[in-house]
Amino acid sequence: MHQYEELGIKLDQLINSDSNGRGVAKKLYPYAFEKAGEPLVYKAARELVENSDKGSPVLIMTGFRTPPLYVQETDGPLGAASISRAFSICLNAKPIILTEQDERSLRIVRAAVEGAGLKISPLEDLLRGDQDLSASVVGFTHSEEYAEEDAKRLIDEVNPRAVIAVKKAGRNFKGVYHSMSGLNVSKYHAKVEYIVDEARKKGILTIGTGDGGNEVGMGAIEDAVRKHVPYGDVCRCPCRGGIASSSKVDVLITSSISNWGGYALSGMISKILEKPNGIHDPEAEELMFSLVAKEGAVDGIKGKAGKSADGLGVEAHKSVLMLIREMLF
């Protein structure tokens, strides 16, 4: 077994530990591992490195607006920002982060990116290659009417080498987006499945990271989500189709908290490319939490803004980040 595979197993075990007591990721991970045939983080990182050239664009999607406030969660944007940093530092790549198009969502994601140490640049400037250590943050439509054409136009304009979803709300087989509590949240979310579908048609690598089964990419193990996740098979909304996402990606990473999947992925990319600075440090983690909380991002379990994600405070997240860094470097 290659040393990176051994590290990949350890990272998989760490990020799928049931630290917040939800009990979901540890049940879903074996199915994802069986599907992948190798450690999830290692497989995703290796394929991303193999498919990415220096200076190439990569599209990273995040965003889950959770009830009762329907504001972006703290889980997702930080993981997306971490991956953006790794691509920027390790490959001088052009990260484009996509989220919901409302102004608060955009501010939250921009705050995470800045906390990770990158500058925010207009998309046109980024694609021209005028900016170093930069990322663009763009919104995507909530409308089914425009989503397919907008997705085609975006993929053609950006021509990404990969499309990565980090805690991005995903719809079920009936086209309905759900919260973990089984409620219909479709009108609050960007219809990004059209982007994933267009990317896969063009042979562009797709990666998904999730923790609950209702995120983009979890369609790879939909049957397991229906079996093991509350409301996975039958939801509380009139569709009765369950919260299980039907959208598929090439490589799925399960994680107890989706940000951790993003951190592990950015760490493994940094390891493969021998750039330890590619993964952010605990000080940046603290700053990211502070900045997104200031913009109103909420803990998806606690339902209120603050320096926590999925029920765990910032110190717990810094500890996991430090473990990832110590394991790799």
* Mean predicted confidence (pLDDT) in 146-162: 98
CA quadruple 32, 15, 53, 198: dihedral sign: positive
What percent of the chain stands above pLDDT 70? 100
Q: What is the pLDDT of residue 93?
A: 95
Q: What is the pLDDT of residue 130?
A: 75
Q: Is residue 2 pLDDT above 90, yes or no?
A: no
Q: Is residue 323 pLDDT above 80, yes or no?
A: yes
Whose CA is closest to 266, among 63, 116, 120? 116
* Mean predicted confidence (pLDDT) in 293-321: 97
Q: What is the pLDDT of residue 20?
A: 85
Whose CA is closest to 142, among 88, 251, 63, 37? 63
The total of structural domains in the chain comes to: 1
CATH label of the domain that carries residue 243: 3.90.1640.20
Q: Is residue 99 pLDDT above 70, yes or no?
A: yes
Q: Is residue 132 pLDDT above 90, yes or no?
A: no
Segment 33-89, tens digit of pLDDT: 999 999 999 999 999 999 998 899 999 999 999 999 999 999 999 999 999 999 999
Q: Is residue 17 pLDDT above 90, yes or no?
A: yes
* Mean predicted confidence (pLDDT) in 141-165: 98
Contact 134, 97 (CB under 8 A): no
Q: Is residue 1 pLDDT above 70, yes or no?
A: no
Q: What is the pLDDT of residue 22?
A: 87
Q: How far is CA 68 from the centre of its chain?
A: 22
267 residue type, one letter? G
Whether the model clears a pTM of 0.85, i.e. scores above it, the answer is yes
Segment 236-252, tens digit of pLDDT: 999 999 999 999 999 99
Whose CA is closest to 82, among 274, 325, 306? 325
Segment 204-230, tens digit of pLDDT: 999 999 999 999 999 999 999 999 999
- The parent domain of residue 204 ranges over 3-328
Whose CA is closest to 95, among 161, 17, 28? 161
Q: Is residue 167 pLDDT above 80, yes or no?
A: yes
Q: Is residue 26 pLDDT above 90, yes or no?
A: yes
Segment 170-209, tens digit of pLDDT: 999 999 999 999 999 999 999 999 999 999 999 999 999 9
Q: Tell me what the pLDDT averaged over the chain comes to.
A: 97
* Mean predicted confidence (pLDDT) in 129-137: 91
